[in-house]
C-alpha cells in the first residue's frame, strides 16, 4: 500500500520520512510525495487506486485539496482510494465540504503523528 | 508835570476796548490764541495807563497810533488766518498815516500847526479807510466763519463717519479673526480626523491580513513543533543504538545527520515566523517617514502571500493562482517600507477581491489569477499588479484614486486605500501610480519609482 502525501510545503516530505523512519525501514509504510494537486493527479494516472491512500493538505496554491478530492471522486465516486484531508485548526467549513465530497477522514494541523499513525495502520 | 486830560484818557480807553472787541471777534482769538485774546482784552488798561503817563509827561501822542500798533501786533500773531490779511490791509496804511502825523507833531510842531488841515484830512481818510475795511473784514470774517463752520461740520460728519467705519472695520476684523480661529480649529480637527482615518485604514487592511498572518505563522510553528518532537525521538533512538554492544556506526551517523538537519529546519521555520511577525509590526507601526534601502521583491512576495491567505481564510471556497515574476537583478531602493508595503497590500488585496468577485459569478473555465511583477526599466523600477478579475469601466477608473470612493459594499472598504496609495507613491516617493483596465478582462496597476 502506497501513501501519497500531497502538500505544497517541501519540508513535509522530510518530516514524514523522519517521523515514520522505523515504519519505513520495517516496510510497514511506503510514502510518495506530491507538491500540488495537479502533480498528485498526474501521479495517480496509471496507478492502482486500490493500493493507494491519499493524505492531502487543503490549503494549497493552484488546485486546492478540495478540488483534488472533487476530481478524484468524479472518477471513482466511492473508495478506493482512501482519502484523508488535512487542514488548519478550526476550519470547520473545509471539514464539512471535504466530508460532503467523500473524504474518508479528516485531520487538523498541527498533526498528531501518533493519531495519524493509528489511522494509517487501521486503514492499511 | 502836566495835568491829566481825563477826557482824552476816557476816549482812548473806550476806543481801545471797542476796537479790540471787534478785533478779537474777527480774529477769533478766543478759540485760536488764548494768550493774544487775554492781551487784547486788557489792552484798554494798557492804553489808559499809557495815555495818562504821556499826558503827565506833557507829550501829545495820538492814541490812534497805539491802537493801530496793537492791532498790527495782533495781526502779526495771527499770520496765516485769512481775516488777519484783511485787517492788515485796513490798518497798515492808517498806522503809517498816524505815525507820520505823530512824527511831524513831535519834531516840527510849527510845520504841523501850519498844515494842520492837511494832517487832519489825512487822519480823517485813514480813519475812514480803517472803518471801511474793518467793517468789510468783519463781514468777510463772518462769511468765512460760516464757510469754515460748514467745513468744520462736514469734517465732523466725515470724522464721525470715519469713526463709525473704523468701528465697523474693527468689528468686522474681530468677526473675521473669530471665523479664522474657528476655521483653524476645524482644520486642526480635520487633520486629526484624517490621521485617525489613515490609522483606521491601516488597521482595516491589517485586519484583512490577520487570517493570512495566522496561517502564515501557524505553518512554520507547526514545523518547529514537529521537527523538535522528531529530534527528541531521534535522540532516544540514538541512545538506544549506543546502548547496544554492537552499535552500527553508519546508523548513528545517519541519525546525527538527521538531527542536525532538523535543527536547521527549526531555525529556518522559526525565522520565517519571526519575519512575518516583524512585517506585521512594521505594517501597524506608525511610519517614521524614514527611507531605507528596501528589497521590493521580498516586500512584494510577502504581501502577496499574506493577502492571498487572508482572503482564503475568509472564504474557503476561494482559490486563485498567484505568482510573482520578480526581476532577479532588481536593485534595492530607498523607500519608506511601511508606506510602500501598504501600497502593495492595498492593490494586491483589491486584485484578489476582484478575481474573487468574478469567480463567484461562476464563468466556465475561469481561473482567477494575480501576478506581481517587478522590473528595472532604464532608471526606474516598475512594479505591476495584474489580475484577471472583472476590470472596471472608464467611469469608475477616473474615480478610484479619489478619497472615500469605493465599489465595495458598505463596511467592507474605507475608500481610502487607493487614494492613500496614490499619495504615498507620488508625493512620498516621487513615482507614478497608473491603472489600465478592460471591463470584464482584468486590471493592471503600474507603479513606477525613480531609482535616484
pLDDT digit string, tens, across residues A23-80:
998 999 999 999 999 999 999 988 888 889 999 998 887 788 988 999 999 887 776 7
The rounded radius of gyration (Å) of the Cα atoms in chain A is 13
User: For chain A, how many residues are written?
Assistant: 124
State whether A15 and B227 contact (CB < 8 Å). yes
Give residue-wise pLDDT tens across range B245-289: 888 899 899 999 999 999 999 999 998 888 777 767 666 666 667
B233 contacts in chain A (CB < 8 Å): 19
**B316: closest chain A residue by CA:** A94
> Cell 521590493 maps to which residue?
B296
**B44 interface with A at CB cutoff 8 Å:** no
- Cα–Cα distance for residue pair B39/B27, rounded to 1 Å: 13
Domains of chain A: 2-112 (3.40.50.2300)
- Cβ-proximal residues to A92 (8 Å cutoff; 6+ apart), any chain: none
* Spatial strand order in the sheet of A105-108: A30-34, A2-6, A52-57, A82-87, A105-108
B226 contacts in chain A (CB < 8 Å): 15, 19, 110-111, 113
Q: Please give the average per-residue pLDDT across B299-316, as a whole number.
A: 81
B44 within domain boundaries: yes
**B188 interface with A at CB cutoff 8 Å:** no
Instruction: Find the CATH number of the domain harbouring B400.
Output: 3.30.565.10
Which of B117, B138, B162 is at the close of a domain? B162
Which of B122, B146, B162 is at the close of a domain? B162
pLDDT score, position B59: 75
A14 contacts in chain B (CB < 8 Å): 261, 265
Q: Which domain holds residue B392?
A: 291-452
pLDDT score, position B219: 81
State whether B222 and A110 contact (CB < 8 Å). yes
B282 within domain boundaries: no
Q: Please give the average per-residue pLDDT across A89-104, as a whole number.
A: 82
**B236 interface with A at CB cutoff 8 Å:** no
Give residue-wise pLDDT tens across range B76-112: 998 888 888 888 888 999 899 988 988 888 888 888 8
B234 contacts in chain A (CB < 8 Å): 18
**B370 interface with A at CB cutoff 8 Å:** no
The pLDDT-based confidence of B370 (bands split at 50, 70, 90) is very high
Q: Please give the average per-residue pLDDT across B30-57, as a whole number.
A: 88
Read off the DSSP letter of residue B350.
Answer: H
Q: How far apart are the first and last CA of chain A?
A: 7
B286 within domain boundaries: no
B181 within domain boundaries: no
Give residue-wise pLDDT tens across range B285-296: 666 678 889 899
B416 within domain boundaries: yes
Residue B355 has pLDDT above 60, yes or no: yes
State whether A109 and B269 contact (CB < 8 Å). no
B104 within domain boundaries: yes
B303 within domain boundaries: yes
State whether B316 and A11 contact (CB < 8 Å). no
Measured from the Cβ of residue A90, the count of other Cβ atoms closer than 10 Å reads: 12
pLDDT score, position B32: 87
> Cell 492791532 maps to which residue?
B71
- Cα–Cα distance for residue pair B62/B39, rounded to 1 Å: 21
Residue B383 has pLDDT above 90, yes or no: yes
B252 upstream amide cis, omega within 30 of 0: no
State whether A18 and B234 contact (CB < 8 Å). yes
Structural domains of chain B, count? 2
Q: Specify which of B202-216, B277-291, B360-374 reaches the highest per-range mean pLDDT.
A: B360-374
With contact defined as beta carbons under 8 Å apart, do B141 and B83 qualify?
yes
Nearest residue, CB atoms, A67 vs list B222, B229, B319: B319
- Cβ-proximal residues to B165 (8 Å cutoff; 6+ apart), any chain: none
B308 contacts in chain A (CB < 8 Å): 61
pLDDT score, position B35: 92
State whether A62 and B258 contact (CB < 8 Å). no
A19 contacts in chain B (CB < 8 Å): 226, 230, 233
**B261: closest chain A residue by CA:** A14
Phi, psi for B103 (deg, rounded to 5): -60, -50
Identify the three-state secondary structure at position A30: strand
B131 within domain boundaries: yes
State whether A110 and B221 contact (CB < 8 Å). yes
Q: Which helix (H) or strand (E) holds B447?
A: strand B442-450
State whether A18 and B258 contact (CB < 8 Å). yes
Window from A96-105, B318-327, B395-404, B408-417 with minimum mean pLDDT: B408-417
Q: How far is B395 from chain A (nearest CA, A)?
A: 33
**B226 interface with A at CB cutoff 8 Å:** yes
Which of B133, B162, B191 is at the close of a domain? B162
The pLDDT-based confidence of B372 (bands split at 50, 70, 90) is very high
Nearest to B342 by CA among B394, B371, B306, B312: B306
Amino acid at each position: 500500500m502506497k501513501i501519497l502525501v500531497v502538500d505544497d510545503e517541501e519540508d513535509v516530505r522530510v518530516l514524514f520520512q523522519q517521523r515514520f523512519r522505523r515504519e519505513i525501514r520495517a516496510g510497514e509504510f511506503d510514502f510518495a510525495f506530491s507538491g500540488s494537486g495537479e502533480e498528485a493527479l498526474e501521479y495517480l494516472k496509471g496507478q492502482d487506486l486500490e493500493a493507494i491512500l491519499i493524505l492531502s493538505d487543503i490549503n494549497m496554491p493552484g488546485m486546492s485539496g478540495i478540488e483534488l478530492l472533487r476530481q478524484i471522486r468524479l472518477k471513482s465516486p466511492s473508495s478506493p482510494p482512501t482519502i484523508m484531508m488535512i487542514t488548519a485548526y478550526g476550519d470547520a467549513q473545509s471539514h464539512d465540504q471535504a466530508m460532503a465530497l467523500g473524504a474518508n477522514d479528516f485531520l487538523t494541523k498541527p498533526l498528531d503523528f501518533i493519531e495519524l499513525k493509528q489511522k494509517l495502520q487501521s486503514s492499511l | 508835570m502836566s495835568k491829566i486830560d481825563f477826557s482824552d484818557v476816557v476816549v482812548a480807553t473806550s476806543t481801545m476796548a471797542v476796537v479790540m472787541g471787534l478785533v478779537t471777534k474777527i480774529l477769533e482769538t478766543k478759540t485760536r490764541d488764548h494768550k493774544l485774546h487775554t492781551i487784547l482784552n486788557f489792552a484798554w488798561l494798557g492804553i489808559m495807563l499809557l495815555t495818562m503817563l504821556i499826558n503827565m509827561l506833557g507829550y501829545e501822542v495820538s492814541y490812534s497810533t497805539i491802537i493801530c500798533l496793537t492791532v498790527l501786533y495782533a495781526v502779526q500773531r495771527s499770520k496765516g488766518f485769512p481775516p488777519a490779511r484783511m485787517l492788515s490791509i485796513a490798518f497798515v496804511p492808517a498806522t503809517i498815516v498816524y505815525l507820520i502825523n505823530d512824527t511831524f507833531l513831535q519834531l516840527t510842531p510849527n510845520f504841523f500847526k501850519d498844515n494842520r488841515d492837511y494832517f487832519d484830512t489825512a487822519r480823517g481818510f485813514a480813519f475812514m479807510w480803517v472803518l471801511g475795511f474793518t467793517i468789510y473784514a468783519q463781514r468777510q470774517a463772518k462769511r468765512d466763519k460760516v464757510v469754515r463752520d460748514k467745513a468744520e461740520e462736514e469734517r465732523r460728519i466725515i470724522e464721525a463717519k470715519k469713526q463709525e467705519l473704523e468701528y465697523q472695520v474693527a468689528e468686522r476684523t474681530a468677526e473675521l479673526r473669530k471665523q479664522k480661529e474657528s476655521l483653524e480649529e476645524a482644520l486642526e480637527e480635520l487633520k486629526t480626523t484624517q490621521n485617525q482615518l489613515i490609522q483606521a485604514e491601516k488597521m482595516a487592511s491589517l485586519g484583512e491580513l490577520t487570517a493570512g498572518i495566522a496561517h502564515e505563522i501557524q505553518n512554520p510553528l507547526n514545523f518547529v513543533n514537529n521537527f523538535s518532537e522528531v529530534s527528541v525521538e531521534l535522540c532516544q533512538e540514538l541512545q538506544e543504538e549506543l546502548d547496544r554492544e554492537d552499535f552500527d556506526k553508519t546508523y548513528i551517523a545517519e541519525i546525527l545527520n538527521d538531527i542536525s538537519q532538523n535543527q536547521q529546519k527549526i531555525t529556518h521555520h522559526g525565522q520565517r515566523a519571526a519575519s512575518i511577525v516583524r512585517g506585521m509590526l512594521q505594517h501597524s507601526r506608525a511610519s517614521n517617514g524614514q527611507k531605507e534601502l528596501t528589497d521590493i521583491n521580498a516586500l512584494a512576495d510577502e504581501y502577496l502571500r499574506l493577502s492571498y491567505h487572508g482572503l482564503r481564510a475568509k472564504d474557503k471556497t476561494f482559490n486563485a493562482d498567484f505568482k510573482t515574476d520578480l526581476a532577479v537583478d532588481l536593485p534595492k531602493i530607498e523607500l519608506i517600507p511601511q508606506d510602500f508595503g501598504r501600497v502593495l497590500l492595498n492593490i494586491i488585496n483589491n486584485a484578489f477581491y476582484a478575481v474573487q468577485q468574478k469567480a463567484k459569478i461562476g464563468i466556465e473555465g475561469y481561473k482567477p489569477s494575480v501576478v506581481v511583477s517587478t522590473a528595472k526599466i532604464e532608471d526606474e523600477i516598475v512594479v505591476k499588479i495584474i489580475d484577471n478579475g472583472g476590470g472596471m469601466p472608464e467611469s469608475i477608473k477616473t474615480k478610484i484614486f479619489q478619497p472615500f470612493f469605493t465599489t465595495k459594499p458598505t463596511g467592507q472598504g474605507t475608500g481610502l486605500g487607493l487614494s492613500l496609495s496614490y499619495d504615498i507613491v507620488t508625493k512620498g516617493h516621487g513615482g507614478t501610480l497608473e491603472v489600465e483596465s478592460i471591463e470584464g478582462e482584468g486590471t493592471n496597476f503600474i507603479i513606477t519609482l525613480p531609482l535616484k
